[in-house]
Amino acid sequence: MLGRLIYLSRTRSKHLQISSPSSVSFICTMSRRPISTSPAPQDDSQRAPKRQRLDHLTPESFRNGVFLAPMVRSGALPTRLMALKHGATLVWGPEIVDKAILHAEREVDPVTGVISYNGKSRAMFTTHPLEKPYLIYQIGSADPELAVQAAKTVMQDVSGVDLNCGCPKPFSTHAGMGAALLSNPDLLCGILEALRRELPKEISVSAKIRLLPTQEETKKLVERIARTGVNAITIHCRTRNMRPRERALVERLREIIEFVHELGLDVAIVENGDCTGRADAQRVRELTGADSVMIATAAESNPSCFSLTPLQDVESTLVPSYLRLCKYLDNHWSSTKFCVIQFKGTRSELSKTDIHELKSKIAKAKRYDDVEEIIGSRTGEDEFREVMRAVEARPPRIPAVAEQEEVVEEEIPAPCSTPPDRANPEPPSSGAPKMGLRMPLPAIITGSDMISPTPTPGDVTIDGRDFGGVILDSEGTNTISMSNVQVSDTTFKRFVFLAVQLTDEDDFTDMSPAGLGEIQLKVWKVALGNAIPWTEYYKTEQHKVHERAKKAVTHCVGLGQETVATKLPEVVKSETIGEPLAIFTFKYRDPNRLKADGIIPAPAAASLKRKASLEIIDLTTHDIKIESSRPSALVRGERNLHRMKKTENKNKNKKVKQEQKSGSVEVIDLT
């Protein structure tokens, strides 16, 4: 059997390395057997149907996913691998024009395994076998024959081919490609039909389009594309003339998707536009009804956005590892530099000056050796191994046609296991986290009261505004925190201290000036009712925030930047019992207000008047003659210049006074 396996491997490979002469004679002996033990060939009618490949993309492969969008320059191989490492379901390569790839030469790096399609001066497209099951190759084409030739050139290294029908850039539209195909649906569908007809079934075919000006036009185009046999259609929720800074029209997509479902066609619809990450993808899917979501801009800023816990301090975490990976894969330095400059996190341990210096150093670098200090001691091979482990840890893709039988394994207890009816009961516990060898002790030893079986919430009031609270359950954790307020069914804003002066309504609709500068926590006993959905609670409660409403000059609590919530809070109806068990009050004021009220001493005002000085000018007779002989126009010019300088000095003094009058952001505890 061993000889047979070796023989088969030799017939399928052009190169075979043999370590010893004995193995050579063994192979030759087995290859010259006159009688084959293989079963007799059967005719096509008796042959069983072929088993579908596990890496075969079907419409199901395009559902329930979060995809990396095709991006010129930004969608390089290292970015795609980073996206797969952090959870991207499928990744699209950058658009490559059909004629360009036809003249490329395929080359495989023997060390890294990187596959390059080289042009005259550099690689036009690079990939790696690791990403093949998840890679979609995007073509820019306006000719069915050229599109098929280009797809066949790279199909051995990809799992799908996508036709770009939405790029509005002139380099694509001037040749009838990209968004120009939207106004030529016959050519668009002709290219897709040719790709589906000529490519093997295991290569998926899809299209990426934009919204047309009207819903009817868009639905007609989507129907025509869906009937070409494509696996998926990605719809960028912007029209051809809209720019990325304009809000995506995601509300238009649901009607289109419902229309496709009514047609009964097995094609997945992917939404593209204004999705910020995996946590936000669920919101987009619920809003639009899309099968999957594609991310572009957010992934360009942070390829880890496909994770539920994306990297935040990208300058310290993502940038060094990305540089190491790019160097190992021999990614062109100009491409690496472009991608790294786009990276931006939500929080950084570095100051703005340090971040600016870091990116400035990368921008000025000419090669990887110039950024060795940033790359660090780790090697790119280590980074690639991490990517490989993350990708290989994914569950295998199951073909849509395979019928999975549920196998219920009967649990057999171990011979020496304790019978269930005699097992020791679980000891009662407070639910508090145990650290090290710490154990829950009786109240008589610890000197504290035993846990109350009644749930107790902490109601928070800030600046006279009631924000509700968090319930401390008797069986849950004994630590609660409240650092933000939910402002919609999907977003929240954090509390921040602000030093502002406002004269009209500018924050909360029902804020009372008497409550400004005070944070209060009340602890009650409550009776819990039924849980209610957050959306219903949001509609009934007055939790809408206005960022307007302070009627006094004071230091106050405001709201920070709006953030997408990864998980909706659980809302339970409750009714307080009796009076509050405890009330904690924290008062704060702006230092300037405290000085004005005489609560804290104010420093002595510094005088800004300049002391008079006596200046004596001695003019000799010769000097007087020179001064009297000067032209009067020149003298007037010098006088005007003197007045201008005097005015500038006055303005500088005014700026100094204004800076001294500006308020401080220091907070003083008056509790």
Say how far apart CA 203 and CA 56 lie, in whole Å.
7
Q: Residue range 453-467: average pLDDT? A: 66
**Percent of the chain at pLDDT above 70?**
55
pLDDT at position 170:
87
Cβ contacts of 109 within 8 Å, gap of 6 or more:
115, 116, 330
Q: Residue range 355-377: average pLDDT? A: 91
Q: What is the pLDDT of residues 100-128, one digit of tens each?
A: 999 899 999 999 999 999 988 889 999 99
Helix (H, G, I), strand (E, B) or coil at 261: helix
pLDDT at position 522:
78
Q: Residue range 624-649: average pLDDT? A: 60
Q: Quick one: which of 177, 234, 179 has its CA closest to 206? A: 234
Q: What is the pLDDT of residues 10-36, one digit of tens each?
A: 333 333 333 333 333 333 333 333 444
Whether pLDDT at 233 is above 50: yes
Q: Residue range 623-651: average pLDDT? A: 60
Does the active-site annotation cover 556?
no
Q: Residue range 637-657: average pLDDT? A: 60
Q: Residue range 135-156: average pLDDT? A: 96
Q: What is the pLDDT of residues 415-452, one digit of tens each?
A: 444 454 444 444 443 343 333 333 333 333 333 334 44
Q: Is 432:472 a contact under the CB 8 Å cutoff?
A: no
Q: Quick one: which of 167, 185, 173, 180 has its CA closest to 221? A: 185
Which residue did the predictor score with more confidence, 481 or 310? 310
Catalytic residue among 167, 189, 237, 556: 167
Whether pLDDT at 75 is above 70: yes
Which residue did the predictor score with more confidence, 256 or 404? 256
Whether pLDDT at 534 is above 70: no
Cβ contacts of 618 within 8 Å, gap of 6 or more:
none
pLDDT at position 519:
80
Q: Six-digit token pair at 288?
A: 């639009």
Q: Which of 245-249, 260-264, 419-423, 458-462 has the least mean pLDDT?
A: 419-423
Whether pLDDT at 227 is above 50: yes
Cβ contacts of 566 within 8 Å, gap of 6 or more:
279, 308
Say how far apart CA 459 and CA 466 lie, in whole Å.
8
Whether pLDDT at 137 is above 90: yes
Q: Residue range 525-532: average pLDDT? A: 68
* Residue type (1 letter), 646: K
Q: Six-digit token pair at 476?
A: 């849950």
Domains (ranges, CATH) in the chain? 59-391 (3.20.20.70), 453-594 (no CATH)
For the chain, the average pLDDT equals 74
Task: Tell me the CA distances in angstroms from 171 to 46, 181, 208, 238, 557, one per residue in order.
Answer: 54, 14, 17, 19, 51
